[in-house]
Amino acid sequence: MIVAIRAVILYAILLIAMRVMGKGDLGELQPFDLVVSLVLAELAVMPMEDLDAPLVHGIMATAVIMFLQCLISYISLKSNAARKIICGTPSIIYDHGRFNVKDMNKLRINMNDILGQMRLKGYYSFEDIDYLIMETNGDVSIVAPESKTVKRIKRIPIATILDGKIMYENLEKFNISKQQLDKSLKKEKLHYKDVLYGSIDENDKFVFYKR
């Protein structure tokens, strides 16, 4: 009966913790989120296995982990640099007939892994796709035309502004002029801090989404 009561209490505490940490933790997990979930699971088991251990210790440890997770999530939301360190960045593995071997080696994936992911997505030839992107949660995204008669995508949209911050790294990498960006913002009567997400498409057209 004591074990059952402890299990109910810990279940309620963990359920509340997962809800407080956000829906992102309930779907595809980032590596850091996966570690937190495993730690929470271990913390829930310990008070049920050892009846001599005070239940409040398990509740306190869960609360501390929940606080740290929320704190780090908030820091990641406000800082692009912190987001890169904690979550990493997506990697373009395949780009119009060219493979990014450097990132493949960095991520420790081989052609069999890539072909398997393609088959799971319903693609069987590299001729049918434009981009293959390894996301930060380990999933693969494929960018492809809807049919062979549709014009192929020359370049995926490039982020120029993210959460109100200019992506200088992307501007430099893809030779995008900041003067062009400023001009487009001025034309739309926007300041970069007002933009939740801004990008430039394959036709060099800037698109902005306000907060």
Domain spans of the chain, in order of start: 2-85, 89-143, 158-210
* pLDDT for the residue 32: 65
Residue 95 near residue 101 (C-beta atoms within 8 A): no
Residue 110 near residue 104 (C-beta atoms within 8 A): yes
The CATH number that domain 158-210 falls under is 3.30.240.20
Instruction: Please give the chain's pLDDT, 211 residues, in tens.
Output: 776 777 677 767 766 776 666 544 444 556 666 667 777 777 777 776 777 777 787 778 778 877 877 887 788 777 777 777 777 788 899 988 888 989 888 888 888 888 888 888 888 888 888 899 988 777 888 988 765 555 666 777 888 998 888 999 889 888 889 999 999 999 999 998 889 889 998 888 999 988 7
- What is the enclosing helix (H) or strand (E) of 141? strand 140-143
- Give the tokens for residue 69: 């997770």
* pLDDT for the residue 190: 92
Annotation: CATH topology of 89-143: CRO Repressor (3.30.240)
Would 89-143 and 158-210 be classified into the same CATH topology?
yes
